[in-house]
């Protein structure tokens, strides 16, 4: 893929192929988008129509009518790619789509490569790099939280903040570089106290963004949860109860074709991902000691633990011991007494001090209460999706590199270091900040990002 501005006109199906929807949208972008469409369209003269208008007509190959369509026009620079963009809504037939695409290509359009529309939007300044990446996240989002983060990033919340900081730093970099020109005269154009204040301010912001990564990752990929407890306490039964309910909910939504994601449930927009479910399903078969060891391994990967007890097999002293062990891991956990259907009131009261949730995984009793508690434990009040949240590993790396460079700059201010070294460290920080928004890019990086898109995006 070429990462320079191109002059050709690209075309692709923008809707997903093979789905039983009523219409399909074919998108063109480039200088000839309107004239190529016009050459196969019978209706109004598209070349003389205003931007942001829709026109009814037919697509024809010679005398043969292929379909009745609606054509939407977006005239440069008022479009996603900042080029002329045409969207042709056809009926959703594989045959029609292929005929129209072939016809448009015969008239001079070229088949778009994966992500090429979004790449053009980036190259033409419509989106910066982090926004372009957010488009991919937005399309992939499957929960309210991941959707909101992607939306916020696409609108530029993330990069606006960094751009401003970068500009402030550029200002100082140029002052320091000016000092280099006057090296003989020992002048200081850049006030070191002010520079330190700025660096500290940027450092704070970068630090918070790095911190937000863990949170963002959880929202994007789901909260990793482990269901732990001794063999036969009912872990698999509970897991199945949670997952089966989720499958039932998903398949009840009429017309959805979404595949149920194995091992994930969604509670009020937050995804919980059960880790090592295969292991849970197996644990009934393995000996207890090994089971406990494996459980401990799994637990350490979790951000939330559901710890299950069967009071008919265990007694309170052992339960308390296990709780102490889990507590020591400092991972939030929910204490669950299972098999409540078999418990007498006296047995219940014995455990009251542990403040557990009583459930019957088998009878599906107490499951809603458990779900509420899971939500409660991730402490949503701490997570404000309107805040800038970093979810992208590439951004995280750039932020970490920026932080390192900033630390060097701070060291340089406080120690007798010549301006030229200080200038180098500031340039380094600027470089890494620029990597996030795409002010600084390489072809490898762009290839890597845009090849993850599908064709038509």
Cα 277 to Cα 374, 380, 454: the distances in Å are: 17, 25, 31
Based on CB atoms, which residue is closest to ligand GDP, 81 or 237? 237
Residue 154 CA to residue 148 CA, distance in Å, equals 10
Tokens representing residue 379 in the block: 């402490």
Q: Is 67 helix (H, G, I), strand (E, B) or coil?
A: strand
Find out whether 234 is annotated in a ligand binding site.
Answer: yes
Q: Which is nearer to ligand GDP, 363 or 407 (CB)?
A: 363
What 8-state DSSP symbol labels residue 430?
H
Cβ-proximal residues to 184 (8 Å cutoff; 6+ apart), any chain: none
Report whether 253 belongs to an annotated binding site: yes
When the beta carbons of 305 and 361 are compared against ligand GDP, the nearer one is 361
Q: Is 337 annotated as a binding residue?
A: no
Whether 58 has a binding-site annotation, put simply, is no
- The phi and psi torsions of 97 (rounded to 5 degrees) equal -60, -45
Q: Is 255 annotated as a binding residue?
A: yes
Minimum CB separation from ligand GDP for residue 326, in Å?
Answer: 16
- 276 assigned ligand-binding residue: yes
CB of 363 to ligand GDP, least distance (A): 6
Distance CA 114, CA 446 (A): 12
235 among the known binding-site residues? Answer: yes
Residue 135 is classified by DSSP as: H
CB of 252 to ligand GDP, least distance (A): 25
> Nearest distance from residue 340's CB to ligand GDP, in Å?
7
Chain positions 198 to 257 lying near ligand GDP, rule: CB under 6 A, are 229, 231-237
DSSP 43-54: SS-GGGSPSSEE
> Taking Cα atoms as reference points, which of 71, 68, 72, 46 lies closest to residue 58?
68
Burial annotation 383-405 (CB, 10 A radius, 16+ → b, else e)? bebeebbbbbebbbebbebbbeb
Smallest Cα–Cα separation from 131: which of 104, 100, 154?
Answer: 154
Q: Which is nearer to ligand GDP, 79 or 295 (CB)?
A: 295
Q: Residue 419, annotated ligand binder?
A: no
Q: SS3 for 39? A: coil
Nearest to ligand GDP of 165, 265 (CB atom): 265
Bridge partners, 110 (sequence order): 10
Nearer to ligand GDP, 234 or 311 (CB): 234
Residue 63: is it exposed, middle or buried by C-beta count within 10 angstroms (0-12/13-18/19+)?
exposed
Compare residues 232 and 400 and give the one whose CB is closer to ligand GDP: 232
Binding residue per annotation — 278?
yes
Rounded least distance, CB 297 to ligand GDP, Å:
16
Mask of contacts with ligand GDP, 267-306, x by CB under 6 A? -------------x--xx----------------------
Provide, rounded to whole angstroms, the least separation between the CB of residue 324 and ligand GDP.
20
Residue 31's Cβ-count burial label (10 Å; 0-12, 13-18, 19+) is middle
Residues in Cβ contact with 405 at an 8 Å cutoff, skipping those fewer than 6 apart: 425, 426, 428, 429, 431, 432
Residues 327-346 contacting ligand GDP, CB under 6 A = 338-339, 341-342
Residues 167-196 that bind ligand GDP (CB under 6 A): none
Q: What is the residue whose two structure tokens read 């598209």?
A: 46
Residues in the chain: 457
Of 342 and 393, CB closest to ligand GDP: 342
Q: Would you say 34 or 239 has its CB closer to ligand GDP? A: 239
237 among the known binding-site residues?
Answer: yes
Q: What gap in Å lies between CA 135 and CA 417, rounded to an integer?
A: 44
Could you tell me the smallest distance in angstroms from the CB atom of residue 284 to ligand GDP?
A: 4
- 427 near ligand GDP, judged by CB under 6 A: no
Closest distance of CB 344 from ligand GDP, Å? 13
Q: Tell me, residue by residue from 344 to 383, as one string, x for binding to ligand GDP by CB under 6 A and - for no binding.
A: ----------------xxxx--------------------
257 is an annotated ligand-binding site residue: yes
Closest CB to ligand GDP among 295 and 419?
Answer: 295
The CB-based long-range contact list for 191-196 (8 Å cut-off, 24+ gap) reads: 192/413, 195/409, 195/413, 196/410, 196/413
Does the annotation flag 121 for ligand binding? no
How many Cα atoms within 13 Å fall on the side-chain side of residue 381?
2
Size of the site for ligand GDP (CB under 6 A): 19
425 is in an annotated binding site: no
Q: Measured from the CB of residue 374, what is the shortest distance to ligand GDP in angstroms? A: 18
Rounded to a whole number of angstroms, the minimum distance from the CB of residue 86 to ligand GDP is 57
List binding-site positions: 232-237, 251-257, 276-279
List binding-site positions for GTP: 232-237, 251-257, 276-279
List binding-site positions for K(+): 232, 251, 253, 256
List binding-site positions for Mg(2+): 236, 257
User: Which spans of this chain sit near ligand GDP (rule: CB under 6 A)?
Assistant: 229, 231-237, 280, 283-284, 338-339, 341-342, 360-363
């Amino acid at each position: 893929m070429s990462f320079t501005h191109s002059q050709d006109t690209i075309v692709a199906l923008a809707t997903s192929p093979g789905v039983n929807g009523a219409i399909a949208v074919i998108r063109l972008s480039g200088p000839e988008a309107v004239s190529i469409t016009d050459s196969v369209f019978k209706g109004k003269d598209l070349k003389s129509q205003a931007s942001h208008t829709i026109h009814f007509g037919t697509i024809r190959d010679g005398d043969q009518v292929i379909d009745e369509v609606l054509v939407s026009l977006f005239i440069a620079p008022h479009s996603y790619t900042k080029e002329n963009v045409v969207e042709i809504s056809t009926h959703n037939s594989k045959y029609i789509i292929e005929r129209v695409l072939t016809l448009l290509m015969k008239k001079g359009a070229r088949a778009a490569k994966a992500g090429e529309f979004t790449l053009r939007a980036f190259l033409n300044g419509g989106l910066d790099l982090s926004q372009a990446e957010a488009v991919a996240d937005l399309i992939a989002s499957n929960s309210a939280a991941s959707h909101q983060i992607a939306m916020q990033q696409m609108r530029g919340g993330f990069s606006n903040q960094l751009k401003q900081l970068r500009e402030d730093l550029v200002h100082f970099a140029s002052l320091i570089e000016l000092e280099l020109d006057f090296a003989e005269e020992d002048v200081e154009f850049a006030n070191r106290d002010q520079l330190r204040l700025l660096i500290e301010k940027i450092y704070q912001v970068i630090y918070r963004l790095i911190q937000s990564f863990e949170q963002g990752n959880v929202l994007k990929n789901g909260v990793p949860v482990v269901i732990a407890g001794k063999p036969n306490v009912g872990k698999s039964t509970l897991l199945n109860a949670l997952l089966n309910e989720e499958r039932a909910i998903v398949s009840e939504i009429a017309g959805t074709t979404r595949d149920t994601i194995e091992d994930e449930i969604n509670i009020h927009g937050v995804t919980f991902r059960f880790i090592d479910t295969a292991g849970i399903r197996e644990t009934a078969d393995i000996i207890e000691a090994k089971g406990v060891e494996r459980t401990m391994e799994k637990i350490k990967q979790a951000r939330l633990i559901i710890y299950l007890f069967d009071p008919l097999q265990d007694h309170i002293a052992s339960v308390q011991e296990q709780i102490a062990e889990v507590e020591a891991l400092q991972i939030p956990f929910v204490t669950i007494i299972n098999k409540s259907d078999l418990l007498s009131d006296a047995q219940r009261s014995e455990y009251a001090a542990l403040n557990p949730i009583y459930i019957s995984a088998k009878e599906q009793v107490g499951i809603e209460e458990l779900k509420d508690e899971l939500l409660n434990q991730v402490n949503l009040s701490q997570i404000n999706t309107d805040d800038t949240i970093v979810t992208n590993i590439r951004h995280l790396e750039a932020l970490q590199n920026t932080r390192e460079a900033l630390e060097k700059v701070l060291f340089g201010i406080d120690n007798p270091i010549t301006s030229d070294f200080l200038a180098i460290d500031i340039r380094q920080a600027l470089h890494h900040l620029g990597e996030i928004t795409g002010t600084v890019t390489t072809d490898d990086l762009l290839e890597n990002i845009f090849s993850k898109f599908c064709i038509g995006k």
